[in-house]
Structure 1
Amino acid sequence: MTTSRNRVVETALGPVRGRERGGIAEFLGIPYAAPPRGAGRFAAPEPHAPWAGVRDATAAGPTAPQAARRLGSIDMSPYFGSGWIRGADYLAVNVWTPRSRADGARGLPVMVFVHGGGYTAGSTSAPLYDGTAFAREGVVLVTVGYRLGVLGFLDLPDAPRNRGLLDVVAALRWVRENIAAFGGDPGAVTLFGQSAGATIVAAVLATPGAAGLFGRAVVQSGSGLGAFSPEQAARVTHAAARELGVGARADAFAALPDERLAEVVPRLSGIDLRTPGAYDPLMGLSPFGVVLEVQPAQAPPAAVDLLLGTTTQEGNLYPSSDGEDALATAARAHPDPHGLLAAYRAAARPGAPDAEVRSAVLGDALFGRGTWALAEAYAAAGRRTFHYEFDWRGALGAAHAVEVPFLFGRTELPGLRGEQGLLGPGTVPGGLAERLRAAWVRFARTGDPGWAPYGTGGRTTMRIGEEWVALSDPRGVERRAWAH
């Protein structure tokens, strides 16, 4: 039986009490910004007031307001958590660190994780994101809660844009100021995220105010072309205002309670976001996302090392969207889906069944195209860039998000197994989780995950599965199909 005991660490705002179990100290729900209340819900994050006495950090805190989110019949609760847990102090971080470092030693690499959930769901309380396995590798692991949906990403003319992204930047500032007290090196910070969290990471790379807060980044199934244009975001804003019966201004939305702002999110699906200059980068799967004038892959590359990639069959997690066939979703979102399908059938996947082709189109539209573009931009600028493709196949094949349980060492979670679990009912390969996590930790320490960098000439990709195989430009046909 593992025993636990309290650990106290002094932060800039006051002391926090965590708990230590099995040599790992865990601190949950430490605020990095003031609670968003009233009109402040639509403002940039503000500093949190100091507290008197020792603040308890032994239990998970509240989560950002959110509505339930499902993806077909697959159980996504390990990823999204149990939903909205009420409470004001949800702009908070969780920290895991080796016990000896919580006692005052210094200098471990720091990894800061941004969860996914389509910009509308998820939390650091989800069981998947326990940082114990990373801490056992000698890393200080931080997970970040941020504003979601209307509060985080609705674009309003009288409010700061991308408030959820600003939250992440504020959390990085908290890390710079406080992580040494937990044994971390504030000069050795890696920002990483998955899905929506990864696209937020890509957008942070293009955010001038984040420069110098981290030196490495990992983009797992995100996109460097995944941002809405201001014109697209305005359509969502006006639709939300109509649904709620208010003006399209922050002061009008601020008069509504969090419950109404969360409940409106599912009613915003189906908005046509195609414009003469842009397709829907989220293919109808979410009405919210980061909003940028210039896509991250088209902005000047940040001065960071970059590790990025996708799963081999990303689109398999999205066979339908609210009962709609994936091809219909693509047709609504992309200016020429049938031409793209023809390119895939003729060049990329000869003889592939329609379901496989539809999945490939959706996966590459959501993640592949934007990942390739970001890799190309960073490699061309001389940044150390490493590319991977995760190919282990669970219940839905090598689908979106299947790598995350391996990375966090949580493949045993019941919600991931069985007929409705993303990993399926079979066994998982021994050693894959440890090897994957070791590569990410090595990248955080050295800027090199253990394989050749991605260059615009060789385009080395590490295909990760039960076997690890380094390939040169393995999906060049698809990349060229997207380029036309």
Structure 2
Amino acid sequence: MTADRENPVARTPYGAVGGRWEQGVAVFRGIPYAAPPFGPRRFRPPVPPEPWDGVRDAGAFGPTAPKPPYSEAFAQYLSDPTVPGDDCLNLNVWTPDPAPGARLPVFVWLHGGALTRGSSAVPVYDGRTFARDGVVFVSVNHRLGVEGYGLFPDAPANPGLRDQLAALHWVHEAVGAFGGDPDRITLGGQSAGAISTGALIAAPRARGLVRRAVLQSGPPETTDRDKVRRMVRRMANRLKVPATAEAFAAVDRGQLLRVQADIGRLGSPILGGPAFGIVTDGDLVPRDPLEALTDGAAPGVDLLAGWTRDEYRLWLVPGGLLDRVDRLGAVALAGAMARCRCGGEVPRGYRALRPDAGTSEIVGQMVTDHLLRAPLHRLADGRTESSYVYEFAWPSGRPRMGACHALELGFVFDSADEPDARRLAGEDAPRELAAAMHGAWVRFVSDGAPGWERWDERHPVRVFGDGEPHTAHGPRDRELALWAAAGTVTAAEGPVSGSAPELRSVVGRLRRGGALRRS
């Protein structure tokens, strides 16, 4: 890279790119790491981009993957910019030192959005603060929804995850030209980005590419193949085409997105439903990532993992689902029991631990523990030599949102007072909390030690936002012990036979009552 203060230039494996200096940081946006995934490449694994001559302008974010917009209820809390164009397999780089040989730590970020929404252009993901603090920050766009995670008989599975792997290979090969150290790459993400991170670090084909990993509010997991097939079949029925990649590729892209969004409204993080997700494929994902990681996959990879205290409130508050779950009472609780494949002893135990809680809190915490906290506990238990765990507990200034899913992002990026972060956090987010949390992430990315003790039999959890940052030992142990006492398997350990009819019955009652209209 040249250090021209007017226009920093770096040479990638496919050609030179020209970035911008912004607040003392060199920024390169919209760099292609693979060819546009359309035409004959639609639903296929990514291939390298065509090389170019001269210096390609990298001043603006590249196209985002096709995706439906958020509903009004969710859009008031979450932004999701759309950049038109086919060249959507691109990434961005923020670097403090645009000089080859600087050997700075690297943080590669995978966005959230349930694998159907989101992009690297979301303002809260601005990498300037990481670059300001000595980290080369890279954010990635990849295919989403049916384009990235549809399961077809005539196309390979997981093309969106394959995109991410291609981006990771690009970073490993090219980041030295931006001042990064290819031997000090941290891969991380939130929600769907964390799930993708878990799948990638467990993947044999990614071995040696990642030194550390950050999993925020998303465990290593795969989705049942039949669940994804049902989503594809329902779309095919609505479109009146065969459930094949060839047939879907012939459908107008806008119509495909509208049908995907409509079918997706029938699902819920609380009660499940049709959805897209990463599946085991015998190739990139040969087995369940959680099982692989607890069995010793990714040796030497340090882990930072955690959750927010009230994850469920982002799922329940927009659109009024929180109140409906409270009104439905026993019906909603039965739905949670079916979703979590447990008997009545588990919700009774939660009620005893939270005697003043409403049904929505009992349901929300049960599902969060089952789907997220229990698998992350299991992951840390299997990797005690290199795991750190946190909880984000600061309640949003927005009414009833609490310490909800995605709220911690503005603090991790030290941007909680920016307009995009205030959509979820409200006004007057504590600057000192953002500095503390961001500083811990910078330390972890830099040297693998965020500033508190590693996970062990005492279950140390660093709590951010409940007073001064402090370490609590086993703050979720009582709840998770209820599952063990009941002999209930976690979601990561596979389905329990016989739960599907009960779940369909409860979901039907909730749907007829309007409780699943969420996005």
Note the alpha carbon deviations across 1:220-266, whole angstroms, 9 max, x for none: 00023x42122222222221221221112211112223222212222
SS of residue in 2 equivalent to 1:25: strand
1:342 aligns with 2:348: yes
Structural mapping, 1:60-459, within 5 Å: 60-70=61-71, 72=73, 75-78=76-79, 81-82=80-81, 84-98=82-96, 101-224=97-220, 226-269=221-264, 283-284=271-272, 287-292=275-280, 294-299=287-292, 300=295, 301-303=297-299, 304-319=301-316, 324=321, 325=324, 327=332, 330=336, 333-336=339-342, 339-346=345-352, 348-379=353-384, 383-394=385-396, 395=398, 396-417=401-422, 421-425=423-427, 427-455=428-456, 457-459=457-459
8 Å CA contact 1:246, 1:252 repeated in 2: yes
Note the alpha carbon deviations across 1:86-110, whole angstroms, 9 max, x for none: 2111101100001xx2144420000
Q: What is the TM-score with the length of structure 1 in the denominator?
A: 0.89
Residue 269 of structure 1, CA deviation: 2.9
Aligned equivalents of 1:320 and 1:406: distance in 2?
Answer: 21
Residue 72 of structure 1, CA deviation: 3.3
Residue 281 of structure 1, CA deviation: 7.5
Residue 454 of structure 1, CA deviation: 0.7
8 Å CA contact 2:270, 2:336 repeated in 1: no
How many residue pairs get aligned? The number is 459
8 Å CA contact 2:228, 2:274 repeated in 1: no
Q: Report the CA distance shift for 1:39/1:477 in structure 2 as closer, same or farther (over 3 A).
A: farther
Q: Report the CA distance shift for 1:47/1:118 in structure 2 as closer, same or farther (over 3 A).
A: same
8 Å CA contact 1:41, 1:254 repeated in 2: yes
Residue 74 of structure 1, CA deviation: 6.2
Note the alpha carbon deviations across 1:299-325, whole angstroms, 9 max, x for none: 233221111000111111111686654
Aligned equivalents of 1:281 and 1:238: distance in 2?
Answer: 20
8 Å CA contact 1:119, 1:289 repeated in 2: yes
Aligned equivalents of 2:275 and 2:242: distance in 1?
Answer: 18
Note the alpha carbon deviations across 1:317-365, whole angstroms, 9 max, x for none: 111686654537636634347553223113x323323232222123224
Q: Report the CA distance shift for 1:241/1:377 in structure 2 as closer, same or farther (over 3 A).
A: farther
Counterpart position of 1:277 = none
SS of residue in 2 equivalent to 1:10: strand
Residue 482 of structure 1, CA deviation: 2.9
Structural mapping, 1:4-43, within 5 Å: 5-43=6-44
Aligned equivalents of 1:117 and 1:378: distance in 2?
Answer: 27
SS of residue in 1 equivalent to 2:20: strand
Gaps of 5+ in 2: 282-286, 326-331, 487-519
8 Å CA contact 1:95, 1:141 repeated in 2: yes
Larger deviation, residues 128-137 vs 197-206: 197-206
SS of residue in 1 equivalent to 2:6: strand
Identity value in percent: 41
Query: Which amino acid in 1 is paired with 2:204?
Result: P
Aligned equivalents of 1:58 and 1:170: distance in 2?
Answer: 22
SS of residue in 1 equivalent to 2:108: strand
Residue 129 of structure 1, CA deviation: 0.8
Aligned equivalents of 2:279 and 2:266: distance in 1?
Answer: 16
Aligned equivalents of 1:188 and 1:287: distance in 2?
Answer: 34
Aligned equivalents of 2:176 and 2:421: distance in 1?
Answer: 35
Query: Which amino acid in 2 is paired with 1:257?
Result: D
Aligned equivalents of 1:283 and 1:162: distance in 2?
Answer: 24
Q: Report the CA distance shift for 1:357/1:161 in structure 2 as closer, same or farther (over 3 A).
A: same
Counterpart position of 1:275 = none
Aligned equivalents of 1:65 and 1:320: distance in 2?
Answer: 27
Note the alpha carbon deviations across 1:172-206, whole angstroms, 9 max, x for none: 00001100000000010000000111111111122
Query: Which amino acid in 2 is paired with 1:246?
Result: V
Aligned equivalents of 1:453 and 1:46: distance in 2?
Answer: 40
8 Å CA contact 1:71, 1:318 repeated in 2: no
Aligned equivalents of 2:454 and 2:436: distance in 1?
Answer: 18
Query: Which amino acid in 2 is paired with 1:357?
Result: I
